[in-house]
Amino acid sequence: MSTSAGHPFPTICLEGVMRFPHGETRSYADEASAIGKPTAHRAVANANRANQLAIIVPCHRIVGRSGELGGYAGRIHRKKWLIEHENSTLLI
């Protein structure tokens, strides 16, 4: 799947995730809407699942619509820790 701009869909998804503010999470559906593909939440999930640069592309910030953590290649306990760590280090 690609977009009209010619960029591969997974690249667009991961670029969108990189724009998330530190400590913020969004659902797969929110991210699909943000990139202009509101019905592509499963494709967004697949693109994040294929992320090979988890240290640079913070795909742990994508959660399910109801707030459940969903899947994470680094295991759910690490995803939970990363989200909690980011929230604890926010400057207010």
- Residues forming the active site: 59
Which residue has 């929110």 as its token pair?
30
Report the pLDDT averaged over residues 5-19.
85
Q: pTM here?
A: 0.76
Residues 28-81: pLDDT tens digits?
999 999 999 999 999 998 998 888 888 788 889 998 888 888 888 888 999 999
With 0-12 CB in 10 A as exposed, 13-18 as middle and 19+ as buried, what is 22? exposed
Task: Using the predicted structure, report yes or no on whether residue 11 has a pLDDT greater than 70.
Answer: yes
Specify the pLDDT at position 81.
Answer: 93
User: How far is it, in rounded angstroms, from Cα 44 to Cα 81?
Assistant: 22
Specify the pLDDT at position 12.
Answer: 92
Find the helix packing angle between 9-18 and 41-49, rounded to 10°: 80
Residue 39 structure tokens: 């019905």
Domain architecture of the chain: domains with CATH:
9-88 (1.10.10.10)
